[in-house]
Amino acid sequence: MLKGKAVIGQSGGPTSVINSSLAGVIEEALSQEAITAVLGMNYGIEGFMAERFYDLGAQSPEVIKGLRTTPSSALGSSRHKLTDSDFPRILEVLKKYDIRYFFLIGGNDTMDTIHRLEAYCRSEGYELMGVGVPKTVDNDLFGTDFTPGFPSAARSNILNVLQAGVLAKDMKKVDQFVVYQTIGREAGWLAASTAAARRKEGDAPHLIYCPERPLDPEKMLEDARSCIEKYGWVSIVVSEGLLYADGTPVSAAESKDKFNNTEFGAMGGASVALNIHKILSSGLDGARGEFQITESLIMSAFDRAEELDLDLAYRCGKEAVRLAADGTSGVMVTIERQEDGSFSLGSAPLQDVAVRAKAMPDDYINERGNDVTPAFMDYIRPLVSGLPEFVSLEDRYYKEVK
């Protein structure tokens, strides 16, 4: 039995449920005989190299339990790009503290960090069990049916589009269009999820554009014009990573982050929604409208967290520790959908998960590229719980009797 300390960190953007995964890791690690202490990286791998650790075993039971209902990233997050020059320092710290169990909660780049570190330690003859816990609102991790954080963020976006649609419908004599932008650099899962806001013909959103399909401005104008003629207004949802046919970002963003990803939205000082608004304003014969961008506000909104999401995030954290304690390393915990609609846990090799982004399947997007298909609706429905029901006044107008 490999004995030693465990360390856990959080990377990338926060979610509504990432701390639920953290609670799962802590609770399970404290119960394992092989794990002698549980440390928490303060600000991810940067904190690790600076030897800034929380003593998670010294936290009160109330705090550990409370993590399951606390948003954002309790340990403090980081977006440090791991370089080869970092490895000797990381190994030095691992040896100094006798850390043998290494866990990170994060997305594609985080899984790459664990994958490279685990391989480096193996090459240096240092035994380390490295397991990844999935997290990203983008839902673009390979090997898992969905990623913890996505269902809650999906619900938040759905509610936003649902309520913005009610407002836009009532204000259509003033504003004829509304553009809503979601997170989604390379995959349109969150934008697509807003289709669940519809209850009847004419409900928002009318048009959905995902980065898996290039945007044709002329076709979009045709589709928007058709909706306005039919309903008197149009609701359009766009992903932040939307591209034109030549590969140019619709956002016109040019800045890059540390992982060489194009920075869209507020982070990149550019916006798809703003530019779509400009196209509509100039192409719809003077039509008036607005654009809405929530960015990170919806990534970790706990008041909209899904119970399924919170539960599976917690279970993923516990499963990661169990896998490591049983001698499994170099994997990420995954969620698998069963035929009866339930979900179970599995694992996938980090080499199959790291860096790559999982796009939406082609059959989830309609042929015109402006909406989702029934196949996607079958996918999303089990992930989002009941939505509020709103009413509209009946078409019963007063007529004075003479």
Catalytic annotation, residues: 138
Helix (H, G, I), strand (E, B) or coil at 43: coil
Q: What is the DSSP letter of 361?
A: P
| Cα 106 from Cα 388, distance rounded (Å) | 31
| Cα 197 from Cα 161, distance rounded (Å) | 7
Place of tokens 């970092």: 86
CA distances from 168 to 176, 207, 272, 355 (A): 8, 14, 20, 39
Q: How many CB atoms neighbour CB 271 within 10 A?
A: 23
- CA nearest to 23, candidates 262, 363, 348, 311: 311
- Phi, psi at residue 139, to the nearest 5°? 65, 30
Dihedral sign computed on CA atoms, order 78, 82, 85, 88: positive
Residue 333 backbone zone (phi > 0: left; psi -120 to 50: alpha; other: beta): beta
Ordered alpha helix ranges (H), 171-286: 189-193, 217-231, 265-268, 272-283
**Inter-axis angle of helices 272-283 and 217-231, nearest 10:** 70
Label the pairing between strands 35-41 and 53-55.
antiparallel
CB 22 within 8 A of CB 74: yes
Three-state SS sequence of 318-348? HHHHHHHHCCCCCEEEEEEECCCCCEEEEEE
Place of tokens 């090459």: 123
CB 182 within 8 A of CB 240: yes
Structure tokens at 281: 């304003």
207, 208, 212, 214: CA torsion to nearest 10:
40
